[in-house]
Homo-oligomer: A and B are copies of this chain.
Amino acid sequence: MYDFSFFNPTRILFGKNAISQIADWIPRSAKVLMTYGGGSIKKNGVYDRVIKALGTRELHEFSGIEPNPAYETLMEAVEHVKRVDADFLLAVGGGSVVDGTKFIAAASRFEEGDPWSLLEGARVEAAVPMACVLTLPATGSESNSGAVISHKGKKQKRFFGSPHCYPQFAALDPTTTFSLDKRQTVNGVVDAYVHVLEQYLTFPVNSPLQDRMAEGILLTLIEEAPKVLENPEDYEARANIMWCCTQALNGLIGCGVPHDWATHMIGHELTALFGLDHAQTLAVVLPGVLRRQLKVKTEKLAQYSRRVWNLEDPFAAIEATEMFFRKIGMRTRLSEYGIEAGFEEVPERLKAKGFVLGEHRDIQPEHSLEILKTRV
Measured CB to CB, the nearest residue on chain B to A216 is B212
Query: Chain B's nearest CB lies how many Å from the CB of A20?
Result: 11
Residues of B within 8 Å of A216, CB to CB, are 208-209, 211-213, 215-216
Query: Chain B's nearest CB lies how many Å from the CB of A154?
Result: 36
Interface residues of A in 56-109 (CB under 8 A from B): none
**A355 at interface, CB cutoff 8 A:** no
**A7-B12, A14-B5 are known contacts. Are A217 and B224 too (CB-CB below 8 A)?**
no
* Chain multiplicity (copies): 2
Question: In the assembly, what is the distance between CA of A207 and CA of B240, in Å?
Answer: 7
**A158 at interface, CB cutoff 8 A:** no
Measured CB to CB, the nearest residue on chain B to A241 is B209
Query: Chain B's nearest CB lies how many Å from the CB of A358?
Result: 24
Give the interface centre of A208, A210, A247 by most chain B CB atoms within 10 Å.
A208
User: Contact residues of A with B, CB < 8 Å?
Assistant: 1-9, 11-18, 21, 206-213, 215-217, 219-220, 223-224, 236, 239-240, 243-244, 247, 252, 255-256
Known: A7-B11, A213-B213, A252-B252. 19 other contacts (CB 8 A): A1-B236, A1-B239, A3-B14, A3-B17, A3-B18, A4-B15, A6-B12, A7-B9, A14-B255, A208-B220, A208-B224, A208-B240, A209-B216, A209-B244, A210-B243, A211-B216, A212-B216, A213-B216, A239-B256
